[in-house]
Amino acid sequence: MSKLFLVPTPIGNLEDITLRAIKVLKEVDLILAEDTRNSGKLLKHFEINTPMQSHHMHNEHKTVEGIVRQIQNGKTVALISDAGTPAISDPGFLLTRACVEAGIEVDCLPGATAFVPALVNSGLPNDKFVFEGFLPVKKGRQTRLQELSEEKRTIILYESPHKLLKTLSQLKEHFGEDRPVSVSREITKLHEETVRGTTTEVLAHYENKPPKGEIVVVIGGKKD
């Protein structure tokens, strides 16, 4: 039966792909990739020769309807992002929703995603947490930070290296100088690093050592 597979791909170390993910990517009729050039390297490494089609945030509104039709006509399709689990701060939600609404079976494989190891590795409470993804760039950013400053659960953010200092400065301003924070970067890669401390301490660290690579920020919730 035709269906949509959501297939996580490694966030750095290629050994983190699952055997099931490789099997599915070899057996489906079509792979939708956020960046076909980037994903092409992954597929070549694992000797996967399945045809690929581009599916990213700039074209997904236009391509969803056609992909749903292909699946309805008998094709089995896998969606992958550049790294991690599709639809987690990456394209995937629109297609998943369209398939669900059309009665198409959707199967999401377990696998790599950056925020889980960053959360567990932080040493902060992980029994309850809120995943925010990327903060608003401009409009609504200050309002959202102020709202999150009252959140009692552990908070998880994604951030780019060139915006990390700004974000840490704003966390210090809105959350206080002593709020615990953990910054993980380059997870599973050669230069993986986690820096833990207060907002003041972590900000000072990265003021002296400009960050590089993909970044996850984990913030302790507000104490009663």
Provide the domain limits for residue 87. 4-108
pLDDT given at position 1: 62
- The pLDDT tens digits of the residues spanning 124-167 come to 999 999 999 999 988 899 999 999 999 999 999 999 999 999 99
Pair 99, 137: CB distance under 8 Å: no
Picking from 167, 168, 154, 162, the residue whose alpha carbon sits closest to that of residue 200 is: 168
pLDDT, residue 120, reads: 97
Domain assignment present for residue 18? The answer is: yes
- Using the predicted structure, report yes or no on whether residue 15 has a pLDDT greater than 70: yes
User: Distance between CA atoms of 62 and 32, rounded to whole angstroms?
Assistant: 14
- CA dist 53 and 130 (Å) reads 33
33: exposed, middle or buried (Cβ count in 10 Å: 0-12, 13-18, 19+): buried
Contacts of 105 (CB under 8 A, 6+ apart): 1, 3, 4, 99
Instruction: Check residue 224 and give its pLDDT.
Output: 81
User: Is there a single domain that holds both residue 101 and residue 167?
Assistant: no
Beta bridge partners of 54: 33
| 119 and 89 part of one domain | no
Same domain, 196 and 119: yes
Give the span between the Cα atoms of 220 and 156, in whole angstroms: 9
Give the domain-ending residue among 108, 134, 168. Answer: 108
134 in any annotated domain: yes
User: To which residue do tokens 């960050």 refer?
Assistant: 211
Question: Tell me, what's the pLDDT at 115?
Answer: 96
For residues 85 and 134, membership in a common domain is answered with no
Same domain, 194 and 137: yes
- Tens digit of pLDDT for each residue in 67-86? 999 999 999 999 999 999 99
Residue 58: its pLDDT value, please?
79
Is residue 41 included in any domain, yes or no? Answer: yes
Distance CA 22, CA 111 (A): 12
What's the CATH code of the domain at 51? 3.40.1010.10
Residues 40-66: tens digit of each pLDDT:
999 999 999 999 999 987 788 888 999
**Residue 135 DSSP one-character state:** P
Q: Is 189 exposed, middle or buried (0-12, 13-18, 19+ CB in 10 A)?
A: middle
8, 112 Cβ separation under 8 angstroms? yes
pLDDT per position as a tens digit, 176-211? 999 999 999 999 999 999 999 999 999 999 999 999
Same domain, 121 and 171: yes
Please provide residue 186's backbone torsions phi and psi, each rounded to the nearest 5 degrees: 55, 45
**Residues in contact with 88: Cβ distance below 8 Å, sequence separation at least 6, in sequence order:** 113, 115, 133
Q: What is the pLDDT of residues 111-121, one digit of tens each?
A: 999 999 999 99
> What's the CA angle centered on 194, arms 193 and 198, to 5 degrees?
145
CATH of the domain at 208: 3.30.950.10
Counting the structural domains of the chain, the total is 2
CB of 63 closer than 8 Å to CB of 46: no
Looking at 86, 108, 130, which one is the last position of a domain? 108
